Every structure is written in C-alpha cells, then in structure tokens.
Amino acid sequence: MDSNIESLTNLFEKYTADSVFKDRVTLTPEYVPDEMPGREDEQNRMVEALSILLDPFRPVAVNIAIIGPAGVGKTTLAKRITKDLHSYAQTMNINLDTHYVNCHSFRTKTSILRRLVTDGFSNIQGRGFSDEEMMEMLAKKLMRENKRIVLTIDEAGMLKGEDILGLIHMNELFPPGEGRFSTIIITRRQQWSLMLNTHLSGRVQDQINMPRYTREQLKTILEYRARLGFFAGVLNDEVLEMIIDIAATTGNARHGIEIMLRCGMIANAKKSSVITPEFVRAAKNEVYPELRPDVFNDLKINELLVALAIATILSKGGGAVHTTINEAYQVYKMYCETYNVKGQSKATFRIYLDNLTQLGIVVSQVKPMPDGSRGRRSIITLHDIPAIIVKERVEEAIKRKLKERMN
Ligand SMILES: Nc1ncnc2c1ncn2[C@@H]1O[C@H](COP(=O)(O)OP(=O)(O)OP(=O)(O)O)[C@@H](O)[C@H]1O
Ligand SMILES: [Mg+2]
C-alpha cells in the first residue's frame, strides 16, 4: 500500500478506535430515527389522514398541516411517515411518489414546480414554461401513469399562502371528484397565522399541532438518541440529566441532541473517554436551539452579506443594541466591494432583510424616533443569537459559497 494512504488509514483507524461515538451520524441533523417516542398520537393522526390516499380504486387528495415551535419533530415525523407511505403504497400496487422541498431553498411556486417537473421528466429542465404549463404537464403525466404525489412543503412560511393554494389547485385539472396532488405543509406557529389570511385554511383537512416536549418526553428521546450515538459508559445518567434539564428549558429535542453531538466532539478532541459536566457547560454555549444549523447554507450570497453587515455593526466594541436600515445598508455595500459581489439597491436590500426576518435570524421593528420628534423609524437587531456567533457562521457560509462558485 502507498505509504501515504497507509498512514491516513492508520489515522482513521486510530480516530475511530478512540472515538466516544458508536455511530456519530445518528446525532447529526439529517438523521431520521426509526422511532419517535412522544409523538405516537401525532403519528396516528397523520397516518389516519393520509390513509385515504391508499384507496386502490379512486385517487383522492388531502392537505394536512403540521404546526409547532422549533425542534419538536415536525420535519422528522413528515419524513418518516412519507417514507413508510411510499413503501406501503408499493406493496398495494398503488403508484405513489413522495417529494420533499424546503422553502428556504425553494422560495416560489415556480421553483417548486420546476423541481417537480425536473424530477418527473428526465429530459426537461422546467425553464421556459409558465406555472400553468408546468402544472398541466404534471397533471397529464399523473393521469397517464395513474400516479399520485405527496409533496411535503417544509418551512412553508417562506412562501405566500396563495402560492401553496396555487399548487393545490393542480387538482382542478383532474376529473371531478379525483385528486392526485396532496400536500403536507409544515410551519412554525406565527407563520401559520400569517398564511391563514388566505383561503388556504379551507383546503387543509387536518391540522396537527405539535407542542413543545415535556421534560419527561425529552428524557425518553435523549436517552434513546444517546444509546444510538455513544458507546455505553460515555454519557452517565447524571450528565445526561444535565442535558435533559437544558433541553427542557426550550422543549426542543434538537437542543439536547446538538449538545450531545458537541459534547462528543469535545470529548474526542480532548481524548477523553467520557463526557464530563464541564463539556456540557461548554457545549451549551455553542448551541442555539431556535436556529436550524444549516440555515446559513441556504441563504443567497447577498442575504449573507446583509446578515454579515448587521452582525458586524452589532458586535463592534461592546456590542450595539440595534442598528438602522441606513447604517446596515452602508456596511452591506462595503462588504459587497470586499467580496466582489454586485451591490443591490436599497429596495432589494429591504427584501433580503425581510427574508432574514422571516427566517428568525434578525428582528426588524418600527419604533418612534428616539428624540421624541414625529415619525417612526425601523430598527434592526438580532434574535437570541450573539452577534459574534452570527458573524462567524455567516463568514464561513460566504467562504463556502464563493468557493462553490469558483469550482
Ligand atoms: N420524538 C423524537 N424522537 C427522537 N428524535 C426526535 C424526536 N423529535 C425530534 N427529534 C429529533 O430532534 C431534532 C429536531 O427535529 P425536527 O428537525 O424534526 O424538528 P422541527 O420541528 O422540524 O424543527 P424546526 O421548526 O426548527 O424545523 C432532529 O434531530 C430529530 O431527529
Ligand atoms: Mg423542520
């Protein structure tokens, strides 16, 4: 064997041998666990609502919504159930496809339709067709192949209610009483209330509310995830209780799982075979439960630069409490020059800002003028995440994005 490869193999072997992780992947955000303790009721309700799709004689469509705060298993439950639904349909000889889109990446009805068209027709890109044309193509294909589709629309708050309604309207292209296009709409609660201003609510047959987890439920969940991820003896009961206590303050399972993952990484870095309370304390300060860890990767370069501008202003010196649109816009333009990205107009800048607000990264509020004079002004601040952390993560994401562009 080449000596280079040999030493690398040794290194990997050594690393794997020394690791506290039995299966590290099971603690990463993408992993979908086989079991979801504490979500039995919600699971049953979803299965019940979706079972109508398994009528072998008549294709019918349903729309269901899953609503709840961060980290309560909305995405995971939808992914698990659609996977099972797909396999079960196969055993019944029902032609049913499941698709998943996250609206952080797919932000318009058009981009979702393009994805469906690209997935469904191997030689068509979807570009150059209107939404109506794409819907017709899809509908024809579904009829020709006697197929049904279930589309999971995650983080649907990024879309307008009318856009989702527009997708659902595809069912009008089928004969009366028939439906082939079903949706599972996932949002956090505040965004759902905004979307309900449309006629969407009338089209949603079942709304499943997923509350925060109780401490008891988190205990079961985190014990289960620790068993999957770590070797026995790495995380003792007392230390695990500390993590459960922290996660119980938010009722967010991701909070606890991310802390466990980081603790394991710290243990490996320090060459410790156990996780100590000190590791938990350190990990706790690096984990922000409201923030999906990959949220920055889905942002466009200009949005990243806007976030960077705001985080820079707010982390300067002792850290400013808030900033204004004018100030943030100036710093944004400066960063555009630094990174050689074409700067956008102030109106477009405001759109980026709105997107960041919707994602829960920044907060923009309209306040009275500080000097008591007439009029109001918009102020911008960051959500619960320290500005310096946002700055670090955004800078990493920018670097990644620019590198991708060069390749
Ligand atoms: N009941 C459960 N059992 C085991 N693991 C769970 C359970 N609920 C959630 N998790 C895990 O917690 C993490 C967060 O879950 P998920 O991503 O589904 O939350 P979410 O409600 O979609 O949050 P967000 O609104 O931030 O997208 C994932 O790693 C998931 O595997
Ligand atoms: Mg989710």
Whether 138 has a pLDDT exceeding 80, the answer reads yes
**277: Cβ below 6 Å to ligand 1?**
no
Q: Where do the CATH 1.10.8.60 domains begin and end in the chain? A: 3-30+213-284
Residue 152: exposure state from Cβ atoms within 10 A (0-12, 13-18, ≥19): buried
The stretch 314-331 carries a mean pLDDT of 85
Query: What residues contact 272, with CB distance under 8 A and at least 6 apart?
Result: 20, 279
236-260 tens-digit pLDDT: 999 999 999 999 999 999 999 999 9
Give the residue, 3 or 221, on which the prediction is more confident: 221
Q: What is the reported pLDDT for 5?
A: 65
Ligand 1 atom closest to Cα of 155?
Answer: 27
Q: Where do the CATH 3.40.50.300 domains begin and end in the chain? A: 40-209
DSSP H helices, 157-214, are: 161-168, 189-195, 200-203
Three-state SS for 209? Answer: strand
The stretch 289-300 carries a mean pLDDT of 80
Grade residue 298 by pLDDT with cuts at 50, 70 and 90. Answer: confident
Angle at CA 158, nearest 5°, toward 157 and 163?
90
CATH of the domain spanning 40-209:
3.40.50.300
Q: How many residues does the chain have?
A: 407
175-189 tens-digit pLDDT: 988 999 999 999 987
Q: Which residues pair with 365 in a beta bridge?
A: 379
The stretch 151-171 carries a mean pLDDT of 92
For atom 24 of ligand 1, the residue with the nearest CA is: 70
**148: Cβ below 6 Å to ligand 1?**
no
Grade residue 96 by pLDDT with cuts at 50, 70 and 90. Answer: very high
Distance 204 CA to ligand 2 centre (A): 19
SS3 per-residue string spanning 330-389:
HHHHHHHHHHCCCCCCHHHHHHHHHHHHHCCCEEEEEEECCCCCCCEEEEEEECCCCHHH
On average, the pLDDT of the chain sits at 89
For atom 18 of ligand 1, the residue with the nearest CA is: 73
The closest alpha carbon to 78, from 65, 60, 94, belongs to 65
Q: What is the reported pLDDT for 16?
A: 64
Ligand 1 atom closest to Cα of 73?
Answer: 18
Cα–Cα distance measured from residue 231 to residue 21, given in angstroms and rounded to the nearest whole number: 6
- Second-level CATH architecture of 295-406: Orthogonal Bundle (1.10)
Task: Give the H/E segment covering residue 184.
Answer: strand 181-187
Ligand closest to Cα of 220 equals: 1
Cα–Cα distance measured from residue 164 to residue 107, given in angstroms and rounded to the nearest whole number: 11
Percent above pLDDT 90 for the chain: 65
Percent above pLDDT 70 for the chain: 92
- E strands in 32-147: 63-67, 96-102
Distance 71 CA to ligand 1 centre (A): 5
Among the residue ranges 47-51, 281-285, 343-347, 384-388, the one predicted with the least confidence is 384-388
Distance 33 CA to ligand 1 centre (A): 9
Q: What is the reported pLDDT for 375?
A: 73
Q: What is the reported pLDDT for 402?
A: 87
Cα–Cα distance measured from residue 200 to residue 188, given in angstroms and rounded to the nearest whole number: 16
Cα–Cα distance measured from residue 83 to residue 89, given in angstroms and rounded to the nearest whole number: 10
Ligand 1 atom closest to Cα of 210?
Answer: 21
Query: Which strands sit side by side in the sheet containing 376-382, from one edge to the other?
Result: 323-324, 376-382, 362-368
**76: Cβ below 6 Å to ligand 1?**
yes
Whether 124 has a pLDDT exceeding 90, the answer reads no
CB 302 within 8 Å of CB 352: yes
Q: What is the reported pLDDT for 142?
A: 94
14-36 tens-digit pLDDT: 666 679 999 999 999 889 999 99
Angle at CA 391, nearest 5°, toward 385 and 396?
120
CB 180 within 8 Å of CB 174: yes
CB 328 within 8 Å of CB 387: no
For atom 15 of ligand 1, the residue with the nearest CA is: 73
Cα–Cα distance measured from residue 219 to residue 213, given in angstroms and rounded to the nearest whole number: 10
Whether 1 has a pLDDT exceeding 60, the answer reads no
Q: What is the reported pLDDT for 104?
A: 86
For atom 4 of ligand 1, the residue with the nearest CA is: 36
Whether 234 has a pLDDT exceeding 90, the answer reads yes
Ion ligand 2 — residues with CB < 5 Å: 75
Q: What is the reported pLDDT for 137?
A: 93
Best residue for ligand 1 mutational test, from 75, 213, 259 (most atoms within 8 Å of Cβ): 75
The stretch 273-301 carries a mean pLDDT of 87
Distance 3 CA to ligand 1 centre (A): 43
Ligand 1 atom closest to Cα of 31?
Answer: 31
Q: Domain 3-30+213-284 belongs to what topology?
A: Helicase, Ruva Protein; domain 3 (1.10.8)
Among the residue ranges 107-111, 118-122, 336-340, the one predicted with the least confidence is 118-122
State phi, psi for 127 to the nearest 5 degrees: -75, 150
Whether 372 has a pLDDT exceeding 90, the answer reads no
